[in-house]
Amino acid sequence: MAIKITEPGLATTVQDTGRPGYYHVGIPQGGSMDQLSAEMANALVGNTPAEAVLECTYIGPRFTTDADAVIAVAGAPVDVLVNGTPREQWTRLELVAGDEVSFGMIHAGTRYYIAVQGGIDVPVVLGSRSTYALGAMGGFEGRTLKAGDTLDIGAAGSERHASAADFIDESLRPTFAKEITVRVMPGLYDHRLTEEGLDTLFSATWKLTPVADRTGLRYSGPSVSWKPRVQPFGAGSDPSNIVDAGYAIGSIQIPGGKEPIVLHRDAVSGGGYAMVATVISSDMDLLARSAPGTRTTFTPVTMEEALAARAEGKEIRSRIWGSAGQ
């Protein structure tokens, strides 16, 4: 079984839970930007959380199936059409051979996910099916989809996973707000900012600019000030420069003290800009859901609070999958 792409959408890629273990050579974790939405789509069609899905950014693809299929669309709110007829998100959609799926405008957020029962069957590269476009590897030929591409669907399609959810309860669905608070842990090089600079980082409202992709998100707002200092050997002349080091995913850097950049799933693994805080793991999906213009506050939390938030995320997942899941 396969699906044939007739229109590719803006930047549609194959993604899964990601590719840990190769960050030390510059290959990022990758995977679906909004992991929870992708996981919900998988749960709806009876896949495991690890199955590859299609990640659609703003404008989704148009495709047909060559056999009966079961799909689900989760994530950013969008009009879903089957043969031109509106259908629901957050539930299972049964298709018959030849059906055409297309999408309308996105109403909020940036990305939504299409899961197909059986999963998108592209080769596993370094343990993952995720597309790493910059390195031209993983996913479908290492790139975003094009018209004419044919994607194989995995054999798991014949058997539904026991934990399949019929629909995702509204209370569990992620929200796509225009104003968000993102929890961060201060650290790494926060001591290089002036006290005033650090205050500004946590008290200002930052606006997400259109410079936002899988690598990172850039924000506009007031400038923050760095402490003047004699730079260490090899670091470069700007006070925001450090001797090139590994970058934590989710870390915030502020080159020159202007426009904070938060690294996301396809992060570059290292570089020479000082990081001053890191988004906690459970808020990375929240960040992935924000559209340009989203008013964002970064609020400092402790490790204990970050771990408590992580536990809450696990609780939501166990409610999606029930006792049969994972």
Partner 1 sequence: MSDTALHLNAARYTWGGDEFLFVEIAEGMSLAANFKANAMAAALGSRKLPGITDICPANASLLIRFNPDDLPPNALEEAVRGVEAEVAQMSQHTLQTRIIEVPVWYDDPYTRETGARFRSGHQRPEGNDLDFAAQENNLASPAEFISRHHESPWLVSMVGFVAGLPFMFQIVPQDQQLEVPKYLSPRTDTPALTVGHGGCFACIYSVRGAGGYQMFGIAAAPIFDPAQRLSNFDDFMIFFKPGDIVKFKPVDETEYRHIQELVADGSFTYRQAPVVFDLEQALAHPTEYNQEIMEHLNGH
Q: Where does this chain bind partner 1 (CB under 8 A)?
A: 20-27, 125, 132, 134-137, 142, 184-185, 187-188, 232-237, 241-251, 268-272, 275, 278-281, 303, 306-307, 310, 314
CA distance 204 to 312: 27
Q: Which two tokens stand for residue 247?
A: 């970058």
DSSP code for 170: T
User: Which of residues 14 and 41 has its CB atom nearest to partner 1 in the complex?
Assistant: 14
- Concatenating the DSSP letter of every residue in 15-56 gives E-S--TT-GGGT----S-SSHHHHHHHHHHHT--TTS-EEEE
User: Which of residues 150 and 302 has its CB atom nearest to partner 1 in the complex?
Assistant: 302
User: Which of residues 27 and 72 has its CB atom nearest to partner 1 in the complex?
Assistant: 27
Q: How far is CA 96 from the centre of its chain?
A: 30
Closest separation between CB of residue 136 and partner 1, Å?
6
Give all strands of the β-sheet with 100-106 in edge-to-edge order. Answer: 85-87, 78-82, 100-106, 62-65, 2-7, 150-152
Closest separation between CB of residue 181 and partner 1, Å?
16
CA distance 65 to 224: 52
Burial class (CB in 10 A: 0-12, 13-18, 19+), 191: exposed
User: Which of residues 134 and 156 has its CB atom nearest to partner 1 in the complex?
Assistant: 134
Closest separation between CB of residue 232 and partner 1, Å?
4
Q: Which residue has the tokens 């606006």?
A: 207
Closest separation between CB of residue 268 and partner 1, Å?
5
User: Which of residues 28 and 60 has its CB atom nearest to partner 1 in the complex?
Assistant: 28
Give bridge partners of residue 56 from the DSSP assignment: 112
Closest separation between CB of residue 200 and partner 1, Å?
21
User: Which of residues 81 and 180 has its CB atom nearest to partner 1 in the complex?
Assistant: 180
Closest separation between CB of residue 292 and partner 1, Å?
19
